[in-house]
Amino acid sequence: MAGLLRNSLLILAAVVGAVAHPTVEDAPMCPESCACRSDEDHVVGRRAKSVTCSGLGQVELLQVSQMSSATVEVLRMSNTSVRRVDFFAFRRLPGLVFLDLNSNVINEIAGTGKTLPKLRTLDLSGNNLHIIQPYTFRDFPQLTSLNLSGNGLHTISPSCFLVPTLRVLDLRHNRLSTLKPHFFAHTPNLREVYLAGNSLSRVPSFVFEHNLHVLDLSNNHVIRLEDSAFDGVNISGQLNLAQNSLRAMPNTALKRLGYVHKLVLDANSFRVLGTSSLVNVAVTSLSISNHRHLHLIHREAFVNLIDLEELLIRGNQALTYVHPKCLVNSPKLKILDLSNNNLVTLEQELIKNTPEVTELRVDNNNFICHCSLSWLQNVTQDEVFCSQINNGSSMAVTQLRSSRCPPYIIPLFPESYYETLSNNASFQCRALGAPNAKVNWFSKTGQRLCNGKCSGRLCVSDHTLTLQYLHKDDTGTYRCVARNEIGEDTRSVALHVRGVNVNLLPLSVTSTFVTLSWNMSSSVSSNYVLKYVEVVNRTLTPSGTSNPKSVTFSVGHKMHSYTIHGLKPGSTYSFSLCIQREEYTLVISTILVTTRRESFLLTLGIERNYLSVIVVSVVVGVVSTTCVAFCGLRCWRQRMKLQNESAQMGKSDSSYSARSILQSSSTHSNMAFITYINLTDETLLADQSTESDLLGFA
C-alpha cells in the first residue's frame, strides 16, 4: 500500500512539473507522406531521430513547417514544390544536425542560422539557385558542410560564405566562369573545395589562400593557371586538374605549391612533354593519363621530383615513346605505371635511372618485337606481348631469345610532315640494336649531317634534326640511317613547307604615298618587314642605293595595313611583306604598284600650288586697296563739297533775316517766328531773350 501511494505521488509530481515548466514536444506527430524513424543514421553516425519527406504538396508542407521537436536531428525534404527557404521556418526544430533540401525548386534563400544552432550539414543541391547574394550564409555556429552542387549557379558573392567553421564546400556542376581573388577569405577552416563541372577558363591569383585537403577543379575549361594561383598552399590530399584544356604543363604555378600529395593532370590537351615540363614540384603521386594527343615524353621532362613515389602514365592512346632519361632525380619513386599506352619499345636505361622502382606496369602496349625488350621479363610480373616486325604476329616477350639483332629505328616522326613557313621543324631519330647502332641524318641533297653540328639552318643534336626558320626551298625528303654489325635500318620524312596565305592589296595609291593592306586571318608574327624597291625597265633595281628600302613595324591582331610615304610620282615599285627571324628574312607576299602622276594630287585638291595662291592673293590685295582708296577719296571730296554749300547757305540766310526785320512793321507773332528760326544767331538771341520767353508761353 505504501509503495502504491509513493508511485502515485511521483506521477502527480511529474504532471505538475510538466504543467509548471512546459517544454518543446519531444514526440511530434509525424506529418503525412513523411517517414519518421529513430534508428542508426549514416549521416549522423549514431542513433538519431529523422524525418524523411518526399513529393509533398502545400498541405503537407504546412504540416512539416508546424512540426515542433527538440530531438529531431535529421530532416530530409526532396522533390517538393518549395521555391523559397527561410531558415526561420525551422525554429521549432532547434536540434537539427542535418538538413537535406536537395532536388527541389528552391530559387531564393532567406534568414540566418541563429535558429539552427546545432546544424552541421546543409544540402541544397539540385535546386534552381542561380545567384548567391552577400551574407546569405551567416550565423551558423557549427555548420561544417555546405552542398550547392547542380544548381546552375553563375554568380556568387565572395561575402556570402560568412561561416568560419565551414570545412567542406561543394560547388560542382554549376555555371561558374570566374573566381575572384580572396573568394574564400571568410572560411579559414575550409579543407575541401569541389569546383568540378563548371565553366572556369583560368585560375587567378590569391583565390586559394589556406591549406586544403582536397581541391577539385576537374571537368572545366581551364587553359591557364596564374603563377600565383596556389602560392604557398599545402594540399594534403588531392589536387585534381583533370579534363581541362591545359596545352602545356603549368610548371610555374605547380612549383609554387607548398606541397601536394596527389596531383591529377589526366585528360588535358598535352601533345608533348618537353624538357623541364615539371621541375621542383613537391608531389608524392602524379597522374598524367588518358590524354588523346600525348605522343612523346622527352628527355628530362621530370626533374627534381624528390618526393615522388608513384607515377601513373597510362591510357594515353597516342603515346609511342618515353625517353629513358625522362626522369631525373626522383630517388623515392617506387611505382611506375606505363600500361595501356601505345608504346613501341621501352629501354632498360629507364629503370637504371630509377633504381628504387619496385613495381613496373607495362601491359597492353603495342611493343615491336626486338631483342632490346628481353629485359622486361625480369622486372615486371605483367604478361607482355609484342608484334613481330615482319608479319605482325603477336608473341610473348619471354620468347625473345637472341641477344644480337639489327637496328630498328623507333617511329618517332611521321613519314610526311607539314609545317608553316618561318616555323621550326624537329625530327628525333632513335634506334635500337645489339650491338648499339650508329645513327646519321642526311639532308634532301644527300649531305651527311654530323651529330652536334649545324650546316646552315640544319642542326643535329642528340640525333634530333632541327630545321630552323623554314624556307619554301626546304621542302624535300630527309633520311635517318642506323647501322651496326648485323645490319641497318632507314626511315625517311617528307617535309612540306606551307606558305602563308597572305595577299597584299593596294588600299589607296597616290603620286607620293601608297597604303597597302593584307588579308591575314591570324597573326603569324608580331614583327613584319615591308620592303620596297623601284622597278626600272621591268628590273628590280634599288633607286640610287645598293639595297632595297625597307621599313620594320610591329602590329597587333587588328592591324592589317601600312602606308609608305616619299615615293616618286609615276614610278613602279615592288612591295614585299616579310617575316624577320633573326638574320633571315622570309617573303610571304609580293605586289607591284605604280604610283600616280604628279598632277593627280593637284586634280583632287589634295596638294596645292602655293605660288599661284600667293600671286592671286597679292593681286586681290592690290585691287582691294585701290578700291578702298578710291572710295575714300570720293567720300572726302563729297564731304568737303557739302560743307562749302552749307557755309554759303548760312551766310545768305543771315543777311536775309536782318533785312526782313529792318524793313517790315511786324506784329508780336511775326517777331516770335523770326526769332525761333534764327536761334543760331547768338547776338540776336541775347537781344531778344525776354521777348522770346514771353511769346513762347503765349
Q: What is the 3-state secondary structure (H, E, C) of 501-549?
A: CCCEEEEEECCCCEEEEECCCCCCCCEEEEEEEEEECCEECCCCCCCCE
- Quote the pLDDT of residue 43: 74
Query: What's the pLDDT score for residue 25?
Result: 40
> H or E segment at 689?
helix 689-697
User: What are residue 531's DSSP bridge partners?
Assistant: 550, 576
Answer yes or no: is 585 within a domain.
yes
Show the DSSP H helices in 220-348 as ranges: 251-255
Give me the pLDDT at residue 15, please: 29
CA quadruple 104, 106, 107, 109: dihedral, nearest 10: -150
565: nearest Cα among 556, 554, 573, 555: 573
Tell me, yes or no, whether 442 and 530 share the same domain: no
Q: What is the pLDDT of residue 609?
A: 59
Query: What is the per-residue pLDDT for 474?
Result: 94
Asked if residue 558 and residue 532 are part of one domain, the reply reads: yes
pLDDT at 692: 38
Question: Is 6 part of any domain?
Answer: no
Say what the pLDDT of residue 651 is.
65
- Model confidence at 698, pLDDT cuts 50, 70, 90, reads very low
Name the most confidently modeled range: 3-17, 470-484, 642-656, 682-696. 470-484
Domain boundary among 498, 531, 557: 498
487 occurs within a structural domain: yes
pLDDT given at position 633: 87
**Shared-domain flag, residues 454 and 509:** no
Most confident stretch, 3-12, 41-50, 215-224: 215-224
> Is 685 part of any domain?
yes
Same domain, 468 and 532: no
The enclosing H or E element of 303 equals strand 302-303
What is the distance between the alpha carbons of residues 282 and 308, in angstroms, rounded to a whole number?
Answer: 8
Same domain, 488 and 511: no
Q: What stretches of 65-158 adopt beta strand conformation (E)?
A: 72-78, 84-86, 98-100, 108-110, 121-123, 131-132, 137-138, 145-147, 155-156
Residue whose C-alpha is closest to residue 282's, from 261, 303, 312, 268: 261
Using CA atoms, how far residue 608 sits from 431, 602, 605, 613, in Å, is 75, 6, 6, 8
Residues 517 and 491 occupy one common structural domain: no
- Measured between its terminal Cα atoms, the distance across the chain in Å is 153
Using CA atoms, how far residue 394 sits from 136, 338, 418, 657, in Å, is 64, 20, 33, 154
- 117-126, 290-299, 630-639: segment of lowest average pLDDT: 630-639
Identify the pLDDT of residue 284: 97
Last-in-domain residue among 464, 498, 532: 498
* Pair 64, 88: CB distance under 8 Å: no
Residues 195 and 171 sit within 8 Å (Cβ to Cβ)? yes
Among 139-148, 530-539, 582-591, top mean pLDDT goes to 139-148
Q: Residues 510, 492: one domain?
A: no
- Measured over the CA atoms of residue 149, residue 154, residue 158 and residue 160, the dihedral's sign is negative
CA distance linking residue 51 with residue 46, whole number of Å = 15
Same domain, 425 and 475: yes
Q: Which residues pair with 494 in a beta bridge?
A: 416, 477
Q: How confident is the model at residue 533 (pLDDT cuts 50, 70, 90)?
A: confident
Could you say which of 498, 517, 532 is where a domain stops? Answer: 498
Cα 214 to Cα 205: distance, rounded to the nearest angstrom: 18
Q: What percent of the chain has pLDDT over 70?
A: 81
Q: Checking phi first, is residue 55 left (phi over 0); if not, alpha (psi -120 to 50) or beta? A: left
- Mean per-residue pLDDT for 323-341? 94
d(CA 61, CA 75): 13
CA distance 176 to 156: 8
On whether residue 143 sits in a domain, the answer given is no
Are residue 599 and residue 511 in the same domain, yes or no? yes
pLDDT > 60? residue 138:
yes
**Residues 123-139, mean pLDDT to the nearest whole number:** 93
CA distance 127 to 379: 53
Residue 580, pLDDT above cutoff 90: no
Q: For residue 242, count other CB atoms closer than 10 A to its CB.
A: 20
Same domain, 424 and 470: yes
State the Cα–Cα distance between residues 395 and 369, nearest whole angstrom. Answer: 8
For the segment 667-685, the average pLDDT, to the nearest whole number, is: 42
Q: What is the pLDDT of residue 3?
A: 47
**What CATH number does the domain containing 442 carry?**
2.60.40.10
Top mean-pLDDT range of 180-184, 438-442, 539-543: 438-442
**Could you tell me if 554 and 613 are in contact, meaning their C-beta atoms sit under 8 angstroms apart?**
no
- Residue 18 burial (10 A CB sphere; 0-12, 13-18, 19+): exposed
What CA–CA distance (Å, rounded) separates 462 from 451?
A: 7
Q: Is the pLDDT of residue 607 over 80?
A: no
Residue 603 host element (H or E): helix 599-604
Host domain of residue 686:
665-697
**Structural domains counted in the chain:** 3
The DSSP code for 90 is G
Rounded CA gap, 394 and 387, in Å?
A: 5
Is residue 412 assigned to a domain? yes
Write out pLDDT tens, residues 65-82.
677 788 889 998 888 888
The residue type at 349: E
Pairing state between β 367-368 and 405-409: unpaired
Mean pLDDT of the chain: 83
pLDDT of 519 higher than 90: no
Q: Is residue 480 part of a domain?
A: yes
Q: Which of 117, 106, 114 is nearest to 142 (CA)?
A: 117
Q: Does residue 205 have a pLDDT over 60? A: yes
Q: Residue 153: pLDDT above 90?
A: yes
The rounded distance, in Å, linking the Cα atoms of 102 and 125 is 5
Q: Say whether both 523 and 488 belong to one domain.
A: no
Pick 29 or 177 by higher pLDDT: 177
Q: Which residues of 485-497 are buried (b: 16+ CB within 10 A; e: fewer)?
A: eeeebebebebeb
Q: Is the pLDDT of residue 678 over 60?
A: no
- Range scoring the smallest mean pLDDT among 271-275, 386-390, 482-486: 386-390
- The mean pLDDT of 643-656, rounded to a whole number, is 71
Q: Looking at the structure, do residues 471 and 514 belong to the same domain, yes or no?
A: no
CA-nearest of 185, 193, 109, 93 to 149 is 193
What is the bridge-based pairing of β-strands 438-442 and 476-483? antiparallel
Cell of 393: 604476329
Q: What is the per-residue pLDDT for 10?
A: 35
Distance CA 148, CA 176 (A): 12
pLDDT (average), residues 31-44 = 79
What are φ and ψ of residue 367, in 5° steps?
A: -65, 140
Parallel, antiparallel or unpaired: strands 168-170 and 454-455: unpaired
Residue 343 has pLDDT above 60, yes or no: yes
Q: 355 preceded by cis ω (within 30°)?
A: no
Q: How far is CA 178 from the centre of its chain?
A: 11
Q: What are the DSSP E strand ranges found in 144-199? A: 145-147, 155-156, 161-162, 168-170, 192-194
Bigger pLDDT: 472 or 24?
472
522: in domain? yes
